[in-house]
Amino acid sequence: MSLGQIIVVLSTAPIDRGLSNTLGNLATNLGLSLKPYDQLGSIAVGNTHAQRWQVSRELAPTEREAFRKLASTLSLDLAFLAPAFNPSRLRILAMDMDSTLINIECIDEIADFAGKKAEVAAITEATMRGEIANFSESLRRRVALLNGISELVLEAVYRERLRPNPGATELLGAANAAGLHTILVSGGFTFFTQRMQRDLGFTETHANTLEIQDGKLTGVVLGDIVDASGKAMHVKNACKALGCKKTATITIGDGANDLLMMDGSGLSIAYRAKPLVKEKADAAFDRVGLDATLALIA
């Protein structure tokens, strides 16, 4: 069989031995052949079980979707890797914060303290789905609604509502131990990214700064906004500083403003993401935790 795309099945539970036949039947219906990629069978890395197969050629988008639909009915996640994918060449892990690294959209929770969560969250959702193309305009509209809120609310959100998503601590610990350059790049706020850097050990972080005067938010963002282009630029700058290509990066995100950062990376992962992001990413994690990344680079 000619060299083709690698399909990786990811699960929080041991993988059923009959899965190979199920995938094989789908492959046959699509005019493909399928075989085990290696002799290891199913492997367990931390909390994730993984098994790899190889198909006879690169999959078309409709074929990828067919495999993902089948996996979804079996409560499994999938990744599609290039035959030449080489984890040993990876140098950088770059990821989004809100709803990716952590369980909340910080701006929505800040707004909740002012009784404006529904209004702000509606704009956030439309932006992450890609329905509002101008992220900077969207962020300014949402931040303007925070005018007059006490800065103490930021600490309350961090202490009472923010939690790392499943597998985040394990992923960052392993990435740092392996010597990867870890970047948290967010359209959110420095108040939270700086604390995530302290708690999880990111090498560098980039986010937006809220203006605060007399102990209250003014509804203004200071300086240039970290939008989709800004995220991609920070990843590009890290690659340049380390002397590597973007193919040496792992990128993880959930919203439309992460797509430019994810494009062209060696491994792009959509974590509990919007449909547009899952469609374009190499891997989609809807059930496994962030530490399932380690099963893909083992």
Which residues is 181 bridged to in the sheet? 92
What are 197-230's pLDDT values in tens digits? 999 999 999 999 999 999 999 999 999 999 999 9
Residue 120 and residue 59 share a domain: no
- The torsion angles phi and psi of 132, rounded to 5 degrees, stand at -110, 105
Q: Is 98 a catalytic residue?
A: yes
* Full residue range of the structural domain in which residue 265 is found: 87-298
Residue 141 and residue 26 share a domain: no
Residue 291 and residue 244 share a domain: yes
Q: Given pLDDT bands bounded at 50, 70 and 90, which one contains residue 165?
A: very high
Residue 193 and residue 67 share a domain: no
Q: Where residue 39 sits, what CATH number does that domain have?
A: 3.30.70.260
Residue 236 pLDDT > 90: yes
Q: Given pLDDT bands bounded at 50, 70 and 90, which one contains residue 1?
A: very low
CA 175 vs. chain centroid, Å, equals 15
> Of the residues 96, 254, 258, 282, which is catalytic?
96
E-strand spans in 37-156?
A: 43-45, 48-55, 77-81, 92-95
> Of the residues 16, 38, 77, 98, which is catalytic?
98
Q: Is 224 a catalytic residue?
A: no
- Residue-level pLDDT at 114: 87
Determine contact, residues 238/183, Cβ cutoff 8 Å. yes
Residue 97 and residue 61 share a domain: no
The 3-state DSSP composition of the chain as helix, strand, coil percent (nearest 5) reads: 45, 25, 35
- Residue-level pLDDT at 57: 93
